[in-house]
Amino acid sequence: MLIAGDTLTLREYLFINDLNLSQFAEIVGCNRVYLSKIFHGKTRPGRILAKSIEKHTGGKVKAVDLLYGDEKNEHSQ
């Protein structure tokens, strides 16, 4: 169960919203293959795409999580 303010991974967001990678790539304006690499953790998006994903998910998928992943937690300890 989601609580207000919870953040999601891109995988969770797409599953909950019944979207596939092709549909979401079109929504955020990027190539499906590139989004697939982000989705599978093979690459990270640029800042502009990360902000677009955050915007189009209503803030549920955070740009900072896409850009830095677990690194943001390592630096804050």
Can you read off the two tokens belonging to residue 55?
Answer: 């915007």
Could you tell me the domains of the chain? 10-75 (1.10.260)
Q: What DSSP designation does 17 have?
A: T
> Which pLDDT tens digit goes with each residue over 15-60?
999 999 999 999 999 999 999 999 999 999 999 999 999 999 999 9
Structure confidence at residue 10 (pLDDT): 96
Tell me, what amino acid is at 41?
G
pTM: 0.84
Structure confidence at residue 6 (pLDDT): 80
Positive or negative: CA dihedral 30, 31, 35, 37: negative
